[in-house]
Structure 1
Amino acid sequence: MIVRAGLFTLCSSALLSLLPYFAKYELGFDSTGFGMLLGSFGMGAVIGGIEFLPRLRPKVSVESMIIGSIALLSMVTFSVGYIQDFGILCLLMALGGAAHITILSTFYTIGAKSAPKWIGARVLAIYLLILNGGLAIGSVIWGAVANEIGIPVTLSLAAISLVATILTKKHYNSTSLDNLDFTPVSDHWPLPPQHSIEPSEYKNQALITIEYSSINSNISAGFEQITRELGCLLKSEGMAYWELFQDPTDMGHYIEIRIADTWTDHMRQHEFVTKNIQVMENKISDLIKDCPTPKVVHYVGKSSSIW
């Protein structure tokens, strides 16, 4: 979501950033005309958010909404650079506003689904930072480009770049989030014996080791794959470091290392561990059910620095 939202904002910023100069010097509109164009964009966003989005979401997939809205906004961006009629321009700006709000709200929904609720505020903060940063940087870039080659050609380039952002769906496809469940299951991880450590050590890092032994060679590949997927989820939910190590002298012996920034953070992870983690750990348990029970040990760091 972060990558796609950032690229989209960089490319889409051309339309609004160049609109004031374009309306005055290319089209000859006064402040009222510019206000009408910008107002049409805003009205399109309002109508799109109230009327169209609630109707589209139950019928159209998230990815289809993103692609369709980007295609519509790119068409609007391209057309604005070559159309002189005020009425048609207002209509185009309204369509652009509807497409713009559809994309922004959809990206926000993806962001909300891709992170646990307890860090939802951080996700929103990063999302807003990306949007505003992309708008600022994109406006400077497109302004510099327009100064060299003119606004109509610049808007055409922006429209092409918008279409090109669709290619990022190959690596950042929203459908991969459909099966994620961030519902907390606080009883999944039992509290460690050291949960009542001295308050002075609350800010020290936490090291968790999980030792697996006698992993049969016929299940080792599946075990490593599922464990790596678990590691990705753990890091996405706040674990500072994760790695799986194998003993080269005993190929069935593995040690999983997890590090949390502070002991307090790790206790919070115990409280907010999600069903995603539970499902992955249950898969590992089912896979190694004929092997010895993994040994879990918690350690408290003797310094407050992660490295």
Structure 2
Amino acid sequence: LTSSVGVAAIFMAIGGAGWLITWTGTDVWVQLASPRWVAGRTLSIYYALTYGGIAAGSWIWGAVAQNYSLTWALLRAAGALLLVAAVGIVLPVRPWEESDQESSDFRAPELALDLKPRSGPIVARVDYSISEKDIDAFLARMRAKRHAFSRAGARNWTLQRNLHTPSLWTETFRTPTWMDFLRLHHRLTLADKEVDQHLFALHAGDHPPRTVLS
């Protein structure tokens, strides 16, 4: 884009510094934004997409430069970067809060059997009594709970309505082992547990919902 070596060197130095700062900052941000128990998985996906994007971009813009011109390819690449930046402004990533990272104070339930860490599978059942006027709010909270529990490791999560007693709803999910059940609850954050508090507030029974394990 310029015939001056000095000007090109200055702008290449500025661009390289910006690239290094952005790359390092993004690495740190990904690690800080990821829950501790899934940080390794998040970083592996991030690096796979990053280096895969570099490889794909090198091939695409190399083909463009070969078939058109280097100037044309550089201008289009710069335009693509501006477009990505604009998308980031229009659709920003939700900033994480302390409640997203702070784990809940879960205590393992007392059992009549002496389970080993690999004992399982474990099936959990929770019964709720919900009045007709609260069903919409209950279902909305349950969708949030399903998302949180599935993310933390729950499998086969279901919500069933009793056909004989329509006010009775039963939530069930399973984990492969007892250790997986404990890990699931330790992975839930305080923000996730607030969903349970809202569900308990909607419960119309005389006693709070209790988790029954089998």
Q: If the TM-score is normalised by the length of the shorter chain, which range does it land in?
A: 0.7 to 0.9
Between stretches 231-240 and 139-148, larger displacement belongs to: 231-240
Q: Secondary structure at the match of 1:174?
A: coil
For 2:163 and 2:196, locate their aligned partners in 1 and report how far apart those are by CA, in whole Å: 24
- Counterpart among 186, 192, 198 of residue 283 in structure 1: 198
Tell whether the 8 Å contact from 1:212 to 1:292 is kept in structure 2 after alignment: no
Give 1:44-193 correspondences, 5 Å limit: 82-165=1-84, 166-167=86-87, 173-178=92-97, 180-185=99-104, 187-191=105-109, 193=111
SS in 1 for 2:94: helix
Whole-angstrom CA distance in 1 between matches of 2:212 and 2:101 = 25
Q: Identify which of 221, 226, 229 aligns with 2:141.
A: 226
Q: Do structure 1's residue 236 and structure 2's residue 151 form an aligned pair?
A: yes
Q: Distance in 2 between matches of 1:244 and 1:106?
A: 42
Distance 1:190 1:197, change over 3 A: closer
Cα distance between partner residues in 2 of 1:104 and 1:151: 25
- Give the 3 Å change call, closer, same or farther, for CA 113–219 of structure 1 in structure 2: farther
Q: Is the 8 A contact 2:128 2:205 kept in 1?
A: no
Give the TM-score normalised by structure 1: 0.58
Structure 1 letter corresponding to 2:213: H
Question: What is the Cα deviation at residue 161 of structure 1?
Answer: 2.1
Question: Matched residues in 2 for 1:89 and 1:148: separation?
Answer: 24
Is 2:115 aligned against 1:197? yes
CA distance in 2, matches of 1:239, 1:98: 44
Are 1:254 and 2:173 counterparts? no
* Contiguous gaps of at least 5 residues in structure 1: 1-81, 300-307
Q: Residues 237 and 93 from structure 1, CA distance in 2 versus in 1: closer, same or farther, beyond 3 angstroms?
A: farther
Cα distance in 2, alignment partners of residues 194 and 137 from structure 1: 57
**Deviation at 1:136?**
1.8
Quote the Cα distance in structure 2 between the aligned partners of 1:251 and 1:106. Answer: 53
In the alignment, the residues of structure 1 paired with residue 56 and residue 174 of structure 2 have an alpha-carbon distance, to the nearest angstrom, of 36
From the superposition, tell whether residues 241 and 189 of structure 1 become closer, same or farther in structure 2 (CA, over 3 Å): farther
Deviations 1:100-140 (A, max 9, x none): 34433443344334432122222222222222222122222
Root-mean-square deviation (Å): 3.1
Alignment-mate amino acid for residue 296 of structure 1: T
Structure with the higher helix share, 1 or 2: 1
How far 1:266 sits from its partner (Å)?
A: 2.0
Give the Å deviation of 1:250. 4.7
2:123 paired residue among 196, 207, 212? 207
Letter in 1 for 2:137: G
User: Which 10-residue stretch deviates more, 281-290 or 136-145?
Assistant: 281-290
Q: 1:216 aligns with which of 131, 139, 143?
A: 131
Aligned equivalents of 1:281 and 1:274: distance in 2? Answer: 11
**Counterpart secondary structure, 1:184:** coil
1:38-77, CA deviations, whole angstroms, 9 ceiling, x for partnerless residues? xxxxxxxxxxxxxxxxxxxxxxxxxxxxxxxxxxxxxxxx
Q: Deviations over 1:141-162 (max 9, x none)?
A: 2222222222221222222222
Q: Is the deviation greater in 202-211 or in 115-124?
A: 202-211
**What TM-score, normalized by structure 2, do the two folds share?**
0.78
Aligned length: 213
**Matching of residues 25-40 of structure 1 within 5 Å:** none
Whichever residue aligns with residue 197 of structure 1, its letter is L
> 2: CA distance between counterparts of 1:161 and 1:221?
43
